[in-house]
Amino acid sequence: MGKQVLLSPSWSIVDAPNLPFPESPPGIIWKESFASHGFYTWNVTVARKQLSLKITPEDVENFVKWDTSFVWDQFPQGTDVLTLHGLSDKMVPP
Establish if 62 belongs to a structural domain.
yes
Establish if 10 belongs to a structural domain.
no
- Is the confidence at residue 67, as pLDDT, over 60? yes
Q: Convert the pLDDT of each residue in 51-60 to its tens digit.
A: 999 999 898 8
> How far, in Å, CA of 94 to CA of 92, rounded?
7
Establish if 84 belongs to a structural domain.
no
Range of the domain at 34: 25-70
Q: Convert the pLDDT of each residue in 7-32 to its tens digit.
A: 455 545 555 555 556 677 888 898 89
Establish if 4 belongs to a structural domain.
no
> How far, in Å, CA of 9 to CA of 90, rounded?
10
| Neighbouring C-beta atoms of residue 2, cutoff 10 Å | 6
- Reported pTM: 0.58
Establish if 55 belongs to a structural domain.
yes
Establish if 86 belongs to a structural domain.
no
Q: How far is CA 73 from the centre of its chain?
A: 22
Report pLDDT for 63: 81
Q: How many structural domains are present in the chain? A: 1
Establish if 75 belongs to a structural domain.
no
Closest CA to 26 of 47, 9, 5, 4: 9
Establish if 41 belongs to a structural domain.
yes
